[in-house]
Amino acid sequence: MFRIKKLYIFMLQTFLPQFLMTFLICLFIVMMQFLWRYIDELVGKGLSIDVVAELFFYAALSLVPLALPLAILLASLMTFGNLGEHVELTAMKSSGISLVKVMAPLMVLMAGVAVGAFFFQNNVTPKSQVKMWTLLFSMRQKTPTLDIPEGTVFTQIPGYNLYVKHKDKETDMLYNLLIYDVSAGTGNPRIVAADSGRMSFTEDYRHLVLNLYQGNWYEDMRGSNGGTVKMGQNLYRRESFHDKEIMIPYDNTFTRMDDETMKSQYVGKNIQQLQHTIDSVQLRVDSVGKEMTRDMRARPVLGVPTRHVVVRDGGSQYEMVKPVKLSRPIDFDSLVTNLSLAEQLQMIDQATMITQNMRQDFIFRGYSLNDDNFVIRRHKIEMHKKFTLSLACLIFFFIGAPLGAIIRKGGLGTPIVISVILFIFYYIIDNSGYKLARDGRWPVWQGIWLSSAVLLPLGIFLTKKAVNDSAVFNPDAYRNFFRRIVGLHQVRSLAIKEVVINEVDNTLALSQIEELKQLCANFLAKYPGRQSYLQYWQYGYDKALLRQVAQATDTLVDHLSNSRDQMVINKAMDFPVIRQLLTYHPTNYPRLGLGLAVLLPIGLPGYLVGLRHQHNLKRDIAQTITVCDQLAAIMRGEYTRDMEYNV
């Protein structure tokens, strides 16, 4: 009978609540970003709650690919950070359970999430994108609601300017109104002035109704062309009224666009539809390119046709004209020079005109090719995005889980900071690759998969370090590595062990000290002074002897680290670390060293750096001899404080 292990159930119960919480938080954050981006399209339109809620629902579905990787990264960081902070991860490892086995159930879960993300991108996202953009474009076309301000000319009604001096918000009465009707053109303005009025809409919300009281109507009765007027024709019209009703066309209804418009775009297609469009447009591009090549080859050369049209089976095609055999070569330069100046200018003008016409023709055709290539790139980008989301989910899990096990910090503090930094880094790379692919500067697959290619090595590196319990964030390790690179002095760190299995043998330790002193003395005697320029590049220091000194020093320090005497431990830490730097012995081949010495731009700076490192090495070896004398005195009981300053 198949039974799930309690460890796997525990990991799933720990991870799933964190994942659901972080996913909702991340989705809310990206939704707020969407709201602030399109707030101008929604405010002041008088949209109903159900329309706005429908837009937010489809927008949330469309933003899932952006929130899902960030939620996985944050949830895995928090989960394994909490396990490490509460020593639960250490307890699992001490029981013989590796980190890979701890991550195993979550790996299976992430594999399922990745598969689900692919089908979500292919089946759900296109439909939600179509609905979202259809609603958004419909909202953009909706006329804003009327909110006439006081003391300002209101110009949002097409063809009308409305001025209101005062409004009564309780009774909705407008006082001291001026209406400028320029719907028939500025040459025929109509001006209406009223003491008060009230505004309303018709039942179908397609007309604005103004009920005006105690006012005058002024209208210019002349023609809009400003021509002459016959005798007896009224130039102006003035009408006084007690109450008057004016109806102004003003469509305030919300009209939803047809979804078919967005379904034809790349955002509303699945993989099969995208591939079908790519193949169709590519076929058109290839046919146009072949036609351009055929027309270019069919152009006559120096007035001589290279091809002629042949009609076969109701169709026409170009065939090659048989070349004319010449008895002797033609000297074109002599033909041109024999022409008169006017004929030469005419020939040049004609050639220039033909060339410009050909160039303009091919440029015009190139515009259509550029548009088609752009359509192909956008469809390819959308098709590749169906797969990148699944890989991004896996990559972020293999970044977040090992990183949480390494830093061992749970909660919402450190994980959020690290997640935001990594996601911003991912978003910048992904957006840069997208723009490079969209503009055709890079192949589409390179631009879209750039972010995954950059972050995948990071996930592999962190997983390997977490499995091997490597000190990735130990500053001392990086400090020592930097010291080894630049040749700086390294410091040993020892402490008294609580449990010592092999006690220190003073006789053996004293013999090791004498052996180390002898090796150091031999080294200093072999190289008493500074090496010359050619000696340094051809021979340098003896690597074998230097390796013996380093091994003897490390062996002595390892033996003394088992001592129970604090003074011995402290003095053993005074032994310098004997490094094996390239600058001590640049090359094993004297001829190669001589060649490098001849190259002064390389040889002289290298020689100066090498002398500095060799000087530090001899100082460390001299210090090793001094520490050996002091340790020997401590073990024999002859050590005095004055010996500390005996260099």
Q: Give 70-115 as a DSSP string.
A: HHHHHHHHHHHHHHHHTTHHHHHHHTT--HHHHHHHHHHHHHHHHH
337-352: pLDDT as tens digits? 888 888 888 888 888 8
What is the b/e burial string over 80-97, where b = at least 16 CB atoms within 10 angstroms of the residue's CB? bbbbbbeeebeebeeeee
The pTM for the full model equals 0.62
For 245-267, the three-class secondary structure string (H helix, E strand, C coil) is EEEEECCCCCCCCCCHHHHCCHH
CA distance 431 to 447: 9
Q: Does residue 115 have a pLDDT over 90?
A: yes
Pick 453 or 644 by higher pLDDT: 453
What is the pLDDT at residue 191? 87
Query: What's the mean pLDDT in 98-113?
Result: 91
Q: Which of 475, 458, 470 lies closest to 400 in space, CA to CA?
A: 458
For residues 452 and 395, the answer to whether their CB atoms sit within 8 Å is yes
Q: Does residue 289 have a pLDDT over 50?
A: yes
For residues 98 and 468, the answer to whether their CB atoms sit within 8 Å is no
For residues 545 and 520, the answer to whether their CB atoms sit within 8 Å is no
Give bridge partners of residue 185 from the DSSP assignment. Answer: none
How crowded is residue 184: how many other Cβ atoms within 10 Å of its Cβ? Answer: 13
Query: What's the mean pLDDT in 270-282?
Result: 89
Q: Find the length of the chain.
A: 647
Per 3-state DSSP, what percentage of the chain is helix, strand, and coil (rounded to 5)?
60, 10, 25
- Tokens 């031999």 label which residue? 522
Q: Which two tokens stand for residue 82?
A: 């909490």
50-67: pLDDT as tens digits? 888 888 899 999 999 989
Band of residue 225 on the pLDDT scale cut at 50, 70, 90: very low
CA distance 158 to 182: 9
What is the pLDDT at residue 187? 61
What is the pLDDT at residue 119? 93
Query: What's the mean pLDDT in 269-285?
Result: 88
Helices (H), 166-310: 260-263, 271-298
Region for 501 from its dihedrals, namely left if φ exceeds 0, alpha if ψ lies in -120 to 50, beta otherwise = alpha
Query: Which residues are within 8 A (CB) of 235 and not within 5 positions of it... i.e. 6 or more apart?
Result: 220, 221, 222, 229
Most confident listed range (131-145, 209-223, 533-547): 533-547
CA distance 49 to 59: 15
Write the DSSP string, 474-508: -HHHHHHHHHHHHT----------SS-SS---HHH
Most confident listed range (269-278, 405-414, 571-580): 269-278
What is the pLDDT at residue 15? 92
Q: Given CA atoms 221, 227, 229, 235 in this order, what sign does their dihedral have?
A: positive
What is the pLDDT at residue 293? 74
**Pairing outcome for strands 190-201 and 173-181:** antiparallel
Q: Does residue 75 have a pLDDT over 60?
A: yes
Domain ranges, ordered by start, for the chain: 8-141+386-467, 153-224+234-249, 477-645
381-400: pLDDT as tens digits? 999 999 999 999 999 999 99
Pick 271 or 642 by higher pLDDT: 271
165-206: pLDDT as tens digits? 888 877 778 888 888 887 766 666 788 899 988 887 777 667
450-487: pLDDT as tens digits? 999 999 999 998 888 888 876 666 555 656 656 555 55
Give bridge partners of residue 320 from the DSSP assignment. Answer: 307
Of 108-112, 367-371, 398-402, 434-438, give the lowest mean pLDDT range. 367-371
534-578: pLDDT as tens digits? 888 888 888 888 889 989 998 988 888 888 888 888 888 888 888
For residues 207 and 201, the answer to whether their CB atoms sit within 8 Å is yes
Query: What's the mean pLDDT in 622-629?
Result: 89
Most confident listed range (18-22, 41-45, 219-223): 18-22
140-168: pLDDT as tens digits? 666 555 667 788 887 777 778 888 888 88
Query: What's the mean pLDDT in 359-382?
Result: 84
Query: What's the mean pLDDT in 242-262?
Result: 75
Give bridge partners of residue 178 from the DSSP assignment. Answer: 163, 193
Q: Is 421 exposed, middle or buried (0-12, 13-18, 19+ CB in 10 A)?
A: exposed
What is the b/e burial string over 18-38, where b = at least 16 CB atoms within 10 angstroms of the residue's CB? bbeebbeebbeebeeebeeee
How crowded is residue 476: how many other Cβ atoms within 10 Å of its Cβ? Answer: 10
In this structure, what is the dihedral angle of CA atoms 261, 262, 266, 269, given to the nearest 10 degrees? -100
What is the pLDDT at residue 390? 92
Q: Does residue 279 have a pLDDT over 80?
A: yes
Of 92-96, 235-239, 315-319, 412-416, give the lowest mean pLDDT range. 315-319
What is the pLDDT at residue 174? 86
Band of residue 72 on the pLDDT scale cut at 50, 70, 90: very high
Q: Which helix (H) or strand (E) holds 236?
A: strand 236-249
Instruction: Compute CA distances 421 → 81, 415, 426, 548, whole Å.
Output: 17, 10, 9, 47
Band of residue 369 on the pLDDT scale cut at 50, 70, 90: confident
What is the pLDDT at residue 231? 44
Instruction: Please provide the average confidence, as pLDDT, over all residues in the chain.
Output: 81
Residues 304-311: contacts with CB within 8 Å, 24+ apart?
A: none
Q: Which two tokens stand for residue 191?
A: 């001006």
Residues 292-296: contacts with CB within 8 Å, 24+ apart?
A: 292/362, 292/365, 294/318, 296/358, 296/362
What is the pLDDT at residue 188? 67
